[in-house]
C-alpha cells in the first residue's frame, strides 16, 4: 500500500549539492605578542567586520610556566590594539598534554565562558599551546554556536608542523583517542618560533619524527635535508628547525587540499600509515 502511494505521487528526489571553500593562512613569526608585532590584530581586522572583536584566550599551562609575564603581555597587547580586539574575561588556563583531552570538563569550562561573555560566530577563540590543547580548544570553539572562529597558536614542533595547521579538532572519550571531534579549518594559524625554545628534548624531537615521516612519503629532497642536518637538529639549531617546520607544514597543507578529501570522507587519511576498522578505531590523530 505504502509503495503504491509513493508511486502515485511520483515525487523525484530533490538533489542538493553544497560546496564550501575555506581559506586560511599559516603565518610564521617571532615575538607574536610584542606590542610592535601587529600580526594578530591584522588577522582579526582582516575579517572586514565591525571591531573591536571579542577574543577568548585558552592557554596551555605547561607552556605558560615558561613564559614569564605572558598573561600581562596579552593584556597589554589587547590595550594597544583595543580598537580591533578585546579579551572576553580572564584567559582560561588548562593543563597541557593528553590530560586536557581526557576530561570533558575543560570543554564545558570554555563553553560556559563563551556563553557568559556572549561570544558569537563573529568572535574568536585564541588557542595557545601544544597539539593537545589546540585539539581540545578547537573542539570547544567549533561546537559552540556551531562554530566560533578559531585562531591557533601552536607552541610545540608537532603543533607548528602538523596538528596546528590542519583541519581537525577533538578530545578523547570511552578510552579512545579523538573519539569526539570536528573537521573545521581554523580562521588562521600563527606559528611563533620563539615559543619552541622552552620545549624539552622529547617534545622537540617528536615534531622532527613527524617531519621524517612526511618527508619519506612525499619529498626525497626534504628527507635529505633532514638527514644532512640531523646533528644540528639534535643540537637544537633554530634556523634549521624553522626550515623543517615550514616545509613540513607546507607538505601537510598541500596534502589536505590536494587529496580532494580534506574531511576524510573516503579512505584518505593524511599521512596515516594504518587504519583499523571503524569499530576498532583508536590512536589516530
Q: Which is nearer to ligand NAD, 29 or 206 (CB)?
A: 206
Q: Is 166 in the site for ligand NAD (CB under 6 A)?
A: yes
Q: Is 259 in the site for ligand NAD (CB under 6 A)?
A: no
| Nearest by Cα to 204 from 273, 166, 167, 158 | 158
Q: Which of 91, 130, 186, 262 binds ligand NAD (CB under 6 A)?
A: 130
Q: Which of 34, 45, 86, 97 binds ligand NAD (CB under 6 A)?
A: 97
Q: Taking contact as CB under 6 A, which single stretch among the options 160-168, 221-229, 234-242, 273-281 is the one that binds ligand NAD?
A: 160-168
Q: Is 162 in the site for ligand NAD (CB under 6 A)?
A: yes
Instruction: Find the binding residues for ligand NAD in span 169-188 (CB under 6 A).
Output: 177
Q: Which is nearer to ligand NAD, 113 or 156 (CB)?
A: 156
Binding residues vs ligand NAD (CB under 6 A): 60, 62-63, 66, 96-98, 101, 129-133, 135, 155-156, 158-159, 162-163, 166, 168, 177, 195-196, 198-199, 203, 206, 285
Amino acid at each position: 500500500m505504502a509503495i503504491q502511494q509513493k508511486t502515485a505521487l511520483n515525487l523525484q528526489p530533490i538533489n542538493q549539492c553544497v560546496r564550501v571553500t575555506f581559506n586560511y593562512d599559516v603565518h610564521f613569526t617571532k615575538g607574536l605578542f610584542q606590542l610592535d608585532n601587529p600580526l594578530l590584530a591584522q588577522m582579526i581586522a582582516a575579517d572586514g567586520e565591525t571591531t573591536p572583536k571579542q577574543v577568548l584566550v585558552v592557554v596551555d599551562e605547561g607552556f605558560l610556566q615558561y613564559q614569564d609575564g605572558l598573561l600581562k603581555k596579552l593584556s597589554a597587547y589587547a590595550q594597544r590594539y583595543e580598537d580591533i580586539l578585546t579579551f572576553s574575561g580572564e584567559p582560561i588556563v588548562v593543563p597541557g598534554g593528553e590530560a586536557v583531552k581526557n576530561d570533558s570538563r575543560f570543554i564545558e569550562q570554555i563553553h560556559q565562558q563563551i556563553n557568559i561573555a556572549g561570544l558569537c560566530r563573529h568572535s574568536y577563540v585564541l588557542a595557545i599551546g601544544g597539539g593537545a590543547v589546540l585539539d581540545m580548544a578547537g573542539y570547544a570553539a567549533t561546537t559552540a554556536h556551531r562554530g566560533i572562529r578559531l585562531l591557533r597558536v601552536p607552541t610545540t614542533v608537532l603543533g607548528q608542523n602538523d596538528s596546528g595547521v590542519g583541519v581537525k579538532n577533538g578530545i578523547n572519550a570511552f578510552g579512545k583517542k579523538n573519539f569526539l571531534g570536528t573537521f573545521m579549518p581554523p580562521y588562521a594559524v600563527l606559528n611563533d618560533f620563539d615559543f619552541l625554545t622552552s620545549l624539552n628534548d622529547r617534545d622537540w624531537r617528536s615534531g622532527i619524527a613527524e617531519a621524517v615521516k612526511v618527508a619519506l612519503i612525499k619529498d626525497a629532497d626534504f628527507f635529505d635535508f633532514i638527514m644532512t642536518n640531523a646533528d644540528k637538529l639534535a643540537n637544537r639549531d633554530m634556523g634549521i628547525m624553522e626550515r623543517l617546520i615550514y616545509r613540513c607544514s607546507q607538505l601537510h597543507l598541500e596534502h589536505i587540499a590536494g587529496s580532494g578529501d580534506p574531511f576524510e570522507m573516503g579512505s584518505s587519511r593524511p599521512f596515516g600509515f594504518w587504519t583499523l576498522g571503524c569499530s576498532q578505531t583508536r590512536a589516530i590523530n
